[in-house]
Structure 1
Amino acid sequence: MAQGNHHLDEADLSELCKALWKADKNRLVPGNDYRLDLQGRAGYVSLGKDKAKDYAQHPLFTFVDENHLHEKPTYHAFIALLDNYETATGICETVTSEEKAENSRFLDAILHTEVMEIAHPFLVKKNLASADPRQFKWQLYKIWFDLYGRGTGNDSSGFEHVFVGETRKAHEVIGFHNWIQFYLQEKRGNVDYLGHHARRSRSRPDEEDHLLTLQFSWKQAVKPKGSSFIGTSPEFEMALYTVAFLLGTEHSSKYRIQVDEYRFDLVCHRSGSHIGSTYPMLLESNLPV
């Protein structure tokens, strides 16, 4: 399929991101639907839990209105997927028929949202997706849920890496860029929030920020620095990340995005025809609001 000029794509993607942000009706409201306790600024970490100092004695999420997680169809369908994976790399995944059905139900749910109804025509116009909704759903399935090898065999997928998270060599967390997974894992005692990475232009991030860079441990492995949207809907992240992936032609792509008060680089790594990783990287200094 045809690919455009990268700088044109970057401008187009930034404009699309603004439209998706505005259309994200399922985004949760900080201070109302959830509350954060950012606590201390994270320190430098050499991989290994014993070397990670905890600058946050309490959980990151002090409250989440779980009615949203169960009553919003896209959230409910998303959460059903989070326990479908063996998170250690090097162990082949087995996908059951029920898990395939859950993947399909999740895609059906997001495809009926305003966010995806903006992203799909954008991709069609760019000649990067079929106008046929069934073909587009199949394309999404292959990009996100088809298995590929990260450590060995079919041990990974785009969805697992980006939204669920993986561990490598027992001491390193890779991927894991989703706030819902973070909250649920923290609630179960599997995630230990270690602190935030502040912007240079501020002494600390704001607890109402929708984009944060965090440090945490998970299953005894450490994520020294990972950026995630906070409070955004699953469909917003799926739409934005899918478009970034399909716009890119190189093994790795990076797009400078400005939306609302947030300035960030949207990073996307390919694994052949699948998403290897994609995430927002909050810039240290933001433009004035």
Structure 2
Amino acid sequence: MSLTSQRTSYLIVIVSAIIASVYWSYGSNHQPNTRPNLPSSDVTDDDLKQFSENLLDKDVNNAAKYVTINLQSKTTSRSDRDEAPLPLLSIDKEAFSIASIEKMLQLHNNYIVESNVNEHYTAQEKQEENNLLDVITNTPVMQYTRNFLIDKGKIGRDPKEFKDVLREIWFNMYARGGGRIGSSGFEHIFLAELKNHQVSGLHNWLYFEAEEKNNQANYLGYMKKVDLGDKGAILKFHFTFRGVDKPVGSMFIGTSPEFEMALYTTCFLLRADKICPLSLNGHRFIIRAFTYRYRGKKLIGSAFPEI
């Protein structure tokens, strides 16, 4: 064998040994990624519609049986007449004993309605937020939502991760202008805000009923209603809040806090800033969930049903 052939054979042996060493090292140390990383395009419209229908079946804390809806007359967004002299909702006291509703009501006095005023975040308020998350993450609604998001590759299997995601996107405070940190996704959607003499948010039936009872909100009539059978309704309506007109508002009525948060969270994580088509009781509608980017984080800016 020539010297050149010997050198070639020697190099082949060395290279083969290196490749084998790398292969076995990789095989023994590398753990496959068991969490899929699917883009939201892999979640079909039918997936979302089936998810929402299944979620309604699992809403064990639904309070619709304790709620009377007094629709009264229809109106339009341009009308300046009060077509509904009576309050929109009447809620039996039993509803307020439902665990997730009871915990959510404790947050009603934690926020300043003007969005351009700095919020003072106390330890007690943080604990109340944690208490709400502890209760809702143990419900069938949120457990089903977590598994759905795991299957779609949006979160890992660690239960703590799901709770951390909810805490971040819903309760992280941010500034909506003027540099003052006075807003959050939760405050905007489940309560209400005033900014530049306009009503912002207010998409929750429990808060609306409380404010109308305190003469701070006034229902003026409705434009459209979607019936959810014995699980409540979705309402598009006209109202005022703190004397400021909101020509068009929308909210679920009778559904649990975790149900609403689950739908908004899912649409935010899978279809943020896009149409999120859902179905409840056979009725198709959409949710719009908008991103608010603040200090490098993608948080919920707003979310609401559109019918």
Normalised-by-shorter TM-score class: 0.7 to 0.9
| Structure 2 counterpart of 1:12, from 41, 47, 56 | 47
CA contact (8 A) 1:173 1:222 kept: yes
Aligned to 1:48: none
CA contact (8 A) 1:254 1:267 kept: yes
Whichever residue aligns with residue 279 of structure 1, its letter is F
Distance 1:38 1:138 in 2: 39
Aligned to 1:85: 111
Superposition map of 1:146-161 within 5 A = 146-152=172-178, 153-161=180-188
CA contact (8 A) 1:3 1:247 kept: no
| Structure 1 counterpart of 2:84, from 56, 71, 74 | 56
| Structure 2 counterpart of 1:218, from 219, 229, 241 | 241
Distance 1:75 1:206 in 2: 19
> 3-state DSSP class of the match of 1:74?
helix
Structure label with greater radius of gyration: 2
Instruction: Quote the offset at 1:189 in angstroms.
Output: 1.3
Aligned to 1:196: 222
Cα 1:74–1:133 shift into 2, 3 Å: same
Aligned to 1:227: 250
CA deviations 1:115-161 (Å, max 9, x no partner) are 00100011112221121112221111011000111133312100011
| Structure 1 counterpart of 2:101, from 69, 75, 79 | 75
Aligned to 1:267: 288
Distance 1:235 1:133 in 2: 16
CA deviations 1:212-271 (Å, max 9, x no partner) are 1111111111221111111000010111111111113x5x12122222142211111001
CA contact (8 A) 1:173 1:223 kept: yes
Q: How many residues align?
A: 266
Q: CA RMSD in A?
A: 2.1
* 1:186 and 2:207 matched: no
Distance 1:188 1:211 in 2: 23
Whichever residue aligns with residue 254 of structure 2, its letter is G
* 1:25 and 2:60 matched: yes
Distance 1:75 1:5 in 2: 31
Which blocks of at least 5 consecutive residues in structure 2 are unaligned?
Answer: 1-35
Distance 2:159 2:44 in 1: 23
* 1:127 and 2:153 matched: yes
* 1:277 and 2:302 matched: yes
Task: Calculate the TM-score normalised by the size of structure 2.
Answer: 0.81
Moved over 6 A (4+): 204-208
Which blocks of at least 5 consecutive residues in structure 1 are unaligned?
Answer: 46-50, 283-289
Task: Calculate the TM-score normalised by the size of structure 1.
Answer: 0.86
Instruction: Quote the offset at 1:5 in angstroms.
Output: 4.6
| Structure 1 counterpart of 2:73, from 40, 46, 49 | 40
